[in-house]
Amino acid sequence: MGIKERQERDRESVRRAILDAARDLFVRDGFEHVSIRKVAELIEYSPAAIYGYFPSKDDIFFALAEEGFQLLADGEPVYPPGGRPDAVSPLDGVRDIFWRFYVFSREHPQYFALMFVDRAVPRISREYERFAFARETKQALISHVEAAVAAGLLPATVPPPVMFRILTSALIGIAVTRLSDRLTPGEDADALARDVIEVTLAGLRTVPLIHSMSAPCEIGAPAQVRLDAQLS
């Protein structure tokens, strides 16, 4: 290995250590309570050394969020509507994508908590180009809802982005309940998540009025709508 390759490997190793330490601290203490100095102390580097990799604490979060959204996108293939080989109907595609969202919260709880629960983190809309792939992924997910609407399996009276937000809000609630250890003894979070998907889909097909129809999808204050806030 040449000198340049060794230097690049060492630099990437330090960058990885910074991100891992910051992720742990952000989740444990909350984003607003973590400083560059705290991150530096955890990995036994000087604050000046951290700034050599990331100009600010926000930039560390953006790097972690980029990793998180990539993990979410890479969990399973996002098939185009009708493209899933064993799909029975477009509604199966909707079930699949929201189940995958829940599985992401289970397999990557730290990323999930940082991206969708901590209200103090910066908005990724500040890094428009960097997160273009995340917005494209969101639109691909909404296209599954649109396909179900076109097939008459979900109501045409409710905008697909609103249905997307309702379903993600319901699953974020289950994920947070699991992450905060608020399940009752014997309660199965996975079964509860599947039930929430089915009950929410059934409700969308039968409910006479959706109160949030006029609400813009960019709303992002409560934790339940963090997904739209971060992908808008």
Does residue 222 register a pLDDT over 70?
no
Give the pLDDT score at 88. 64
Per-residue pLDDT band for 225 (boundaries 50, 70, 90) equals very low
The mean pLDDT of the chain is 86
Q: CA-CA distance, 104 to 102, in Å (whole number)? A: 5
Is residue 39 a contact partner of residue 18, using CB atoms and an 8 Å limit?
yes
Give the pLDDT score at 109. 96
Tokens of 17: 């250590």
The proportion of the chain whose per-residue pLDDT surpasses 90, expressed as a percent, equals: 67
* Domains 1-55 and 62-231 belong to one CATH topology: no
* H-state helical runs in 151-159: none
Domain ranges of the chain: 1-55, 62-231
Per-residue pLDDT band for 128 (boundaries 50, 70, 90) equals confident
Tokens of 224: 């339940």
CB neighbour list of residue 14: distance below 8 Å, 6 or more residues apart: 43, 45, 49, 53
pLDDT digits (tens, 9 = 90+) for 20-79: 999 999 999 999 999 999 999 999 999 999 999 999 999 999 999 999 999 988 865 444
Is residue 127 a contact partner of residue 62, using CB atoms and an 8 Å limit?
yes
CATH class of 1-55: mainly alpha
pLDDT digits (tens, 9 = 90+) for 153-186: 999 999 999 999 999 999 999 999 999 999 999 9
Helix axis angle for 57-74 and 109-116, nearest 10°, is 120
Provide the whole-model pTM. 0.82
CATH class of 62-231: mainly alpha
